[in-house]
Amino acid sequence: MEVILRNLTKRFPSRDRKKREDVIAVDDFNFQIPDGRLIGLLGPSGCGKSTTLNLISGLLKPTSGRIFFGEDDVTDLPPENRGIGLVFQNYALYPHLTVRQNILFPLQNLKGKDKLSKSEMLSKANEAAKLVQIDDLMDRKPAELSGGQQQRVAIARALVKMPRVLLLDEPLSNLDARLRLQTREEIRRIQRKTGITTIFVTHDQEEAMSISDMIVVMKDGVVQQIGKPQEVYDNPENMFVARFLGTPPINLFVGQVKDNQLYIGKDAVLRLKGIGNQEVLVGIRPEGFILQEDGPLCCTLSGVEVMGRDTSVVSQNEASLNQTIRAIVGTEHLVMETKVRFALKPHKVFLFNRETEKRID
């Protein structure tokens, strides 16, 4: 099911009584989500992710704009008539019911022509439980399950009616690191298998990058960039997006463009084409540095960490006021406190306007 957001806007009255201005939690969001994809809604806390999800689910009404599921304008429909499945961070299972009863719950409220017989309901609940691989836990109560298992029950419950759209709000946040990884792979597998259009809210860029077909990066209610994870990583449109994606994070410098050369401090580090002389912000991905004897960036190594395939290097760049550089280089034998020189991979270097912070290269 395609989900279309058209000029979607949500304002809340300010909680601070002295401030008259509304909070614009979602500001003119436009996006045509293709059928059958997993979309990661990504951004720091307070950027409007949950509000967007709640608008799509119908738990909130937009101030303006429309929402379509395919041809169907659902903007004025209550949540129960939209055909959505919802999964929250805190699982929201009924503690007094068994796993089976929890999964059956959404089917028991169906009315009229949608009403199912007892055996149909049980068969659907079994199917959903199989899909998330908890069919051997059907008689347990939520308290007798691990966090990961509880979240699988919540997912089974959201899927039991075969929703048109599956909405997940930080579904992995309450799980420990190992379970988080496992459950996120599980969500990806289930999504592929069912082909249900899924929107996944998270503040964790690695999580979003790893499972999404496309990511939407938001800041202060405003969509910053939409694209495939790798495309957004390789081609951030502004400094916020460049900084938000990637571990270790991007390295930032103030630089100068002068006569088709990029300078960091007094070092000319890269040849450029077609960019006028100006002061710029320079972002360099950690994997954008190459150890090279005659490289233009001179640094002193202050930290070396061998990480199997790669080596993480922390160094001080002498030309730019001893600024720290975090680089990822291939396995190299490197000695602390020695001097090294780096060259740069041009496609890992981004230039931003100093005022607008938009890309200029």
> Could you tell me the smallest distance in angstroms from the CB atom of residue 47 to ligand ADP?
4
> Could you tell me the smallest distance in angstroms from the CB atom of residue 231 to ligand ADP?
22
Helix 99-108 / helix 118-131 crossing angle, nearest 10 deg: 120
**Continuous segment of H or E residues that includes residue 206:** helix 205-211
How many whole angstroms separate alpha carbon 328 and alpha carbon 88? Answer: 36
Residue 167 binds to ligand ADP (criterion: CB under 6 A): no
33, 47, 327, 349: residue in contact with ligand ADP (rule CB under 6 A): 47
Are 360 and 352 in contact, with CB atoms under 8 Å apart? yes
Residue 48 binds to ligand ADP (criterion: CB under 6 A): yes
How many whole angstroms separate alpha carbon 246 and alpha carbon 242? Answer: 8
Residue 50 binds to ligand ADP (criterion: CB under 6 A): yes
> Could you tell me the smallest distance in angstroms from the CB atom of residue 56 to ligand ADP?
12
Q: Which residues pair with 203 in a beta bridge?
A: none
28, 36, 46, 348: residue in contact with ligand ADP (rule CB under 6 A): 46
Q: Which residues pair with 87 in a beta bridge?
A: 168
Total residues interacting with ligand ADP, rule: CB under 6 A: 12
Q: Which residues pair with 216 in a beta bridge?
A: 41, 226
> Could you tell me the smallest distance in angstroms from the CB atom of residue 50 to ligand ADP?
3
5, 49, 93, 224: residue in contact with ligand ADP (rule CB under 6 A): 49
Residue 39 binds to ligand ADP (criterion: CB under 6 A): no
40, 43, 163, 229: residue in contact with ligand ADP (rule CB under 6 A): 43
Judged by CB under 6 A, the stretch of 46-54, 190-198, 223-231, 251-259 that binds ligand ADP is: 46-54
Residue 16 binds to ligand ADP (criterion: CB under 6 A): no
> Could you tell me the smallest distance in angstroms from the CB atom of residue 168 to ligand ADP?
13
Residue of 259, 252, 256, 258 whose CA lies nearest to 238? 252
12, 182, 192, 279: residue in contact with ligand ADP (rule CB under 6 A): 12
Residue written as token pair 């900084």: 243
How many whole angstroms separate alpha carbon 75 and alpha carbon 65? Answer: 8
Residue 17 binds to ligand ADP (criterion: CB under 6 A): no
Are 314 and 302 in contact, with CB atoms under 8 Å apart? yes
Judged by CB under 6 A, the stretch of 41-49, 280-288, 313-321, 323-331 that binds ligand ADP is: 41-49
How many whole angstroms separate alpha carbon 167 and alpha carbon 181? Answer: 19
33, 39, 51, 198: residue in contact with ligand ADP (rule CB under 6 A): 51
- Range 144-163, binding ligand ADP (CB under 6 A): none
> Could you tell me the smallest distance in angstroms from the CB atom of residue 26 to ligand ADP?
7
> Could you tell me the smallest distance in angstroms from the CB atom of residue 64 to ligand ADP?
16
The Cα angle at residue 295 between residues 248 and 262, in degrees rounded to 5:
75
Choose between 45 and 247: whose C-beta lies nearer to ligand ADP.
45
Residue of 263, 262, 258, 254 whose CA lies nearest to 276? 258
- The end-to-end CA distance of the chain, in Å, is 37
Who's near 292: CB < 8 A, 6+ residues apart?
Answer: 341, 342, 343
> Could you tell me the smallest distance in angstroms from the CB atom of residue 224 to ligand ADP?
13
Could you tell me where the DSSP H helices lie in 58-176?
Answer: 99-108, 118-131, 147-159
Site residues (CB under 6 A) for ligand ADP? 12, 15, 23, 25, 43, 45-51
